[in-house]
Amino acid sequence: MKTIKVNASVSYDVIIGEGLLSQAGDYCKAALGKACRLCVVTDDTVAPLYLDTVTSSLEAAGFDLFYYVFPSGEESKNTENLVELLEILAANRLTRADALVALGGGVIGDLTGFAAAVYLRGIRFVQIPTTLLAAVDSSVGGKTAVNLLAGKNLVGAFHQPSLVLCDYTTLDTLAPEVFADGCAEVIKYGAINDRAFFDKLRLGVRSQIEEVIATCVESKAKIVQEDEFDTGTRQLLNLGHTVGHAIELCSELTVSHGSAVAMGMVIVTRMAVRLGLCPEAELYELIDLLRQEGLPTECPFSAEKLTEVATADKKRSGDTITLVIPHGIGNCRLVKAPIDRLCELIGKGLGA
Ligand SMILES: NC(=O)c1ccc[n+]([C@@H]2O[C@H](COP(=O)([O-])OP(=O)(O)OC[C@H]3O[C@@H](n4cnc5c(N)ncnc54)[C@H](O)[C@@H]3O)[C@@H](O)[C@H]2O)c1
């Protein structure tokens, strides 16, 4: 078992280990101070697998519970479901002394976290991630959001959890492609600033899962502590994401987040190679590692289509957009690119 402390505007522990779901009650009581009223939010894939274990443990620790189950999938991360959840919290008279528990992947974590950020101007919440992506990325750092029709995560808030409880035995029930999605974010940490970790990943993600999750969480904690509100170094975590979000939207969300990020990382790395900034061999190393973990590396959309969608991205600021450019594996830098060059740059990344 490993515990990593995140010292952001709120300090909290990320606890990573086996069999933690059945101890959720004790860990939540320690993090929240005492038993209170809780709403556990989950989805209809995770509920039959893990909801009973978590609610039994919470009840045994004295928490007074109710729960809410959304349909699984990215489509659930919308404003209608946010309002539905807020109405449920109000109807059940949840107070500022109470808390939410997000049991699930990044979709449930982002939606629940945002509800916690805005309900009664902010109540506490606990993240219990059950996907690899949520374990290594979305459950840590306090970014919460839902999607608008115009784009992903366009409405949200920074709101740190009180605890992240990561029981990695839950990853055993993930569909292989969902596990692979998380691998894209894992590989991203190596590609951003940790060459040694990238090299270690060649041994496979699953065989060293506790260490892999802990390394990613430590890396994210360090970045979040430096730049909680995403005005500088935290933007490095967006490697592959500007193009990745555009790919998700162009596909009408049929391409998953992790697959889109994998394609996005390849596109910006190839772009950097063609601009003479990154050695070509490092592009092939990245492609090999992504393929090893079952991720796609070729994008089916044109530069024009991707640019049209990417210009609505939050990382746009006036006439420029901040891109994360690899100068090699483990050596990424932030670059402000003029919007009117974006299509040409993405075109280089696609091989046009
Ligand atoms: N807040 C952040 O910092 C941040 C960072 C990265 C990604 N995200 C967001 O995270 C979301 C993607 O997260 P995700 O990949 O976890 O998707 P997800 O939450 O949709 O989960 C993927 C699928 O796996 C199922 N699932 C979850 N846990 C399971 C388990 N243990 N066993 C079997 N099935 C399980 C879910 O029901 C779903 O069908 C996106 O919306 C993305 O924008 C947020």
pLDDT in tens, 124-173: 999 999 999 999 999 999 999 999 988 889 999 999 999 999 999 999 99
Q: What is the pLDDT of residue 124?
A: 98
State which H helix or E strand residue 334 sits in: strand 332-338
Q: By the 8 A CB rule, do 168 and 209 touch?
A: yes
pLDDT in tens, 248-269: 989 988 999 899 999 999 999 9
Q: Where along the chain do its domains lie? A: 2-173, 176-350
d(CA 185, CA 106): 12
| 133 touches ligand 1 (CB under 6 Å) | yes
CATH H superfamily, domain 176-350: Dehydroquinate synthase-like - alpha domain (1.20.1090.10)
Domain 2-173 indexed as CATH 3.40.50.1970: yes
- Indicate the DSSP class of residue 205: S
d(CA 278, CA 242): 19
Q: What percent of the chain has pLDDT over 90?
A: 92
Q: What is the pLDDT of residue 109?
A: 98
For residue 253 the two structure tokens come to 């969300």
| Residue 128 backbone phi and psi in degrees, to 5 | -120, 85
Q: How far is the CA of 69 from the centre of ligand 1 (A)?
A: 15
| 42 touches ligand 1 (CB under 6 Å) | no
Q: Which of 107, 187, 192, 209 most suits a substitution to test ligand 1, by most atoms within 8 Å of the C-beta?
A: 107
Secondary structure tally for the chain: helices H, strands E: 14, 12
Contacts of 37 (CB under 8 A, 6+ apart): 63, 64, 65, 92, 94, 95, 97, 98, 99
Mean pLDDT of the chain: 95
d(CA 157, CA 316): 18
Q: Which of 128, 131, 152 most suits a substitution to test ligand 1, by most atoms within 8 Å of the C-beta?
A: 131
What global pTM score does this model have?
0.95
Residue with CA at minimum distance from ligand 1 atom 36: 72
Residue with CA at minimum distance from ligand 1 atom 7: 138
